[in-house]
Amino acid sequence: MTYSGSIATPVGVIAVHSDGVAITRVTWPRAGRSVASVPGESQDAERDPLLAEALAQLGAYFAGERSGFDLPFDLGPQSDVTNAVLHALYDTVGHGQTVTYGELAERSGTTVPARAIGAIMGANPIPIIVPCHRVVASDGLGGYSGGAPGEGLLTKRWLLEHEGALPTALF
């Protein structure tokens, strides 16, 4: 059984998916599509305490009351390299910090080139909780596939400003 719920945030509505044991996905639903309309999923945190906790932790994060997440998560079927990179990110890059693609490649202990890190970040099934927004290019923000369609970099900038990793934009 998959449980789903959503939360309104400053970077749009975020949907959280759980299998009752672990958080399995975090997404930005497309406009006009309800989380509850996905077959086999439900919008009821009342039936899944883990989902309720994930939504509460995300709410506290966006309210500035929480800087990290204490939730079990399952990245799903991934290569060993992808698992190593995403776990290195989760374990070593804290709130208010950033890391370059190359630095994360080194931290992961893999031989993956820095260029491949961007693809791994884009495939992260659990953004924000596994904080791919904290991975930046050596010469700027880099990319971001999270957020509402077409607003990835705005979302990344907002998240990094919210965490104090970037100064607040003047405009």
Determine which one of 105, 112, 117, 132 is catalytic.
132
Q: How far is CA 69 from CA 25, 78, 127, 171, in A?
A: 14, 21, 12, 30
DSSP structure class, residue 95: T
The H or E element containing residue 100 is strand 99-100
Maximum CA extent, the chain: 45
Given CA atoms 34, 52, 150, 169 in this order, what sign does their dihedral have? positive
Q: Is residue 132 among the annotated active site residues? A: yes
- 6: Cβ contacts below 8 Å, ≥ 6 apart: 13, 14, 15, 16, 29, 35, 43, 55
83 by Cβ neighbours in 10 Å (0-12 / 13-18 / 19+) ranks as middle
**Which residues are registered as beta bridge partners of 63?**
none
Listed residue (18, 30, 116, 13) closest to 76, CA to CA: 18
Active site residues: 132
